[in-house]
């Protein structure tokens, strides 16, 4: 059975001491909770070692929010997938719309990053999603299919088994406007079918597909109740244990 996942994406928030506090408070809040999902904390590079230490001995998975296209060398300011893996992190978020929009990450870049991540044993949380104009034009399915085809459908079946998909409509990110559970289910079902067309039904059924975009403790139960919604990638509501816990408990 595919995994249910509640994944935090802290983005560029918290200093290192604040991040350690947040990780500890999430750890504490989860103690004794009968959880039906994996919990992932996506944190800035600077926090990886300390957060990995703060959750040591639990099954909380630490993830980076990015990694380099190259394995090593003269790339000032970059952080390789090997560096990420050496911190104790087990996953990396790639292809987030904020990276595509603000840092011009295209599919070619993402193919290289995904390859680096998988070469270094990291699970990939691969993001996709349309903007408002694309949705208004009814092009959301084409946009998402192309992002998958160009970003990860080059992978072998074996490699693809290390990928989790996060559908994050750009119009719902940080806006307070969530996709309805019907809209989320419709797209995630489409994504699963698209995966089935490429990799077959068995792999499609095993792939966890998350929804992201203004997901919170209030709307998570309805979203996660949909058959194709395997969890969430959470921004704002992951920045306090108090807000994040109800999402973890929403399955
Ligand atoms: P919000 O939950 O703040 O809308 O962010 C979603 C997101 O981008 C997670 O990656």
* β pairing state of 5-9 and 231-234: parallel
Task: Write out pLDDT tens, residues 68-83.
Answer: 999 999 999 999 999 9
Question: Cα–Cα distance between 44 and 106 in angstroms, integer?
Answer: 21
- CB of 233 within 6 A of ligand 1: the answer is yes
171: its two tokens: 């119009």
What's the mean pLDDT in 40-64? 98
Across 16-20, 82-86, 174-178, 212-216, least confident range: 174-178
Task: Write out pLDDT tens, residues 194-221.
Answer: 999 999 999 999 999 999 999 999 999 9
pTM: 0.98
**Band of the pLDDT at 1, cuts 50, 70, 90?**
confident
Burial of 203 (0-12, 13-18, 19+ CB in 10 A): middle
**Catalytic site residue 47?**
no
Atom of ligand 1 nearest to the CA of 214: 4
Query: Is the distance from CB of 37 to CB of 248 less than 8 angstroms?
Result: yes
Ligand 1 centroid – CA 63 distance (Å) = 15
Exposure string over 139-155, b if 16+ CB within 10 A, otherwise e: ebeebbbebbeebbbeb
pLDDT at 176: 85
**Band of the pLDDT at 107, cuts 50, 70, 90?**
very high
Q: In sequence order, what are the residues at sequence separation of 6 or more whose Cβ sits closer than 8 angstroms to the Cβ of residue 240?
A: 22, 25
Residue nearest to atom 2 of ligand 1 (CA): 235
Nearest Cα residue to 119 out of 146, 92, 101, 137: 92
Question: Cα–Cα distance between 45 and 2 in angstroms, integer?
Answer: 28
């Amino acid at each position: 059975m595919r995994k249910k996942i509640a994944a935090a994406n802290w983005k560029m928030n918290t200093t290192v001491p604040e991040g350690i506090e947040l990780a500890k408070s999430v750890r504490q809040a989860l103690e004794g909770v009968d959880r039906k999902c994996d919990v992932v904390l996506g944190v800035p590079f600077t926090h990886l070692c300390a957060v990995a230490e703060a959750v040591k001995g639990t099954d909380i998975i630490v993830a980076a929010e990015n990694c380099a296209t190259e394995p090593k060398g003269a790339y000032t300011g970059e952080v390789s997938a090997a560096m990420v893996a050496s911190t104790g992190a087990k996953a990396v978020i790639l292809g987030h719309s904020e990276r595509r929009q603000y840092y011009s990450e295209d599919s070619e870049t993402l193919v290289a990053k995904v390859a680096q991540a998988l070469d270094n044993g990291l699970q990939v949380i691969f993001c996709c999603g349309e903007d408002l104009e694309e949705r208004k034009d009814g092009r959301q399915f084409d946009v998402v299919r192309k992002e998958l085809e160009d970003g990860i459908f080059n992978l072998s079946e074996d490699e693809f088994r290390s990928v989790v998909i996060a559908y994050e409509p750009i119009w719902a990110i940080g806006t307070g406007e969530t996709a309805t559970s019907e809209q989320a289910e419709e797209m995630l079902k489409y994504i699963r079918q698209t995966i089935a067309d490429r990799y077959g039904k068995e792999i499609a059924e095993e792939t966890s597909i998350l929804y992201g975009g203004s997901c919170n403790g209030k709307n998570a139960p309805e979203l996660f109740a949909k058959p194709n919604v395997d969890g969430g990638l959470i921004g704002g509501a992951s920045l306090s244990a108090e807000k994040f816990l109800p999402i973890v408990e929403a399955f």
